[in-house]
Each structure stands twice: as structure tokens, then as C-alpha cells.
Amino acid sequence: MLAGQKAKAANAYDAALQYFKLGQEFLTDESWQTDYNLILGLYSEAAEVAYLMVILSRWNISL
């Protein structure tokens, strides 16, 4: 999660999304009960980065 947050802060959205998705791959079905805040963070951060990527793409802005 930390790597994704650092990449996001550096406007490296492609890398950030990959880090958040990688973190999601390590989750189990029980993770929602044991690591709720981590899961919520991984999914929320991934959604925000994906949203930012779409907005930048629509405005033809490259960072």
C-alpha cells in the first residue's frame, strides 16, 4: 500500500495502480474480517487513481 501511495503522490498513476492491484492479489476471502482498513485503503486508492487516469486521459494531459 505504501508503494502505491508514494507513486500516487509522485503522479505516477500507472505504477500506483499496479501496486494497489498487486496488494489486492494477496488478499484472502477472510481479509475483510481481519484486515478491513487495509482492504478498504487498497480498493479506495485504486479507484481514485483509476479515476484520475481517466480524467487526465480525457483532457489529454500527460504527467
∠ CA(12), CA(17), CA(19), 5° rounding? 95
Q: What is the pLDDT of residues 3-58, one digit of tens each?
A: 999 999 999 999 999 999 999 999 999 998 999 999 999 999 999 999 999 998 88
Tell me how far apart the alpha carbons of residues 51 and 35 are, in angstroms, rounded to a whole number.
24
> Residues 15, 7: contact at Cβ < 8 Å?
yes
Tell me how far apart the alpha carbons of residues 30 and 8 are, in angstroms, rounded to a whole number.
28
Per-domain boundaries in the chain: 2-58
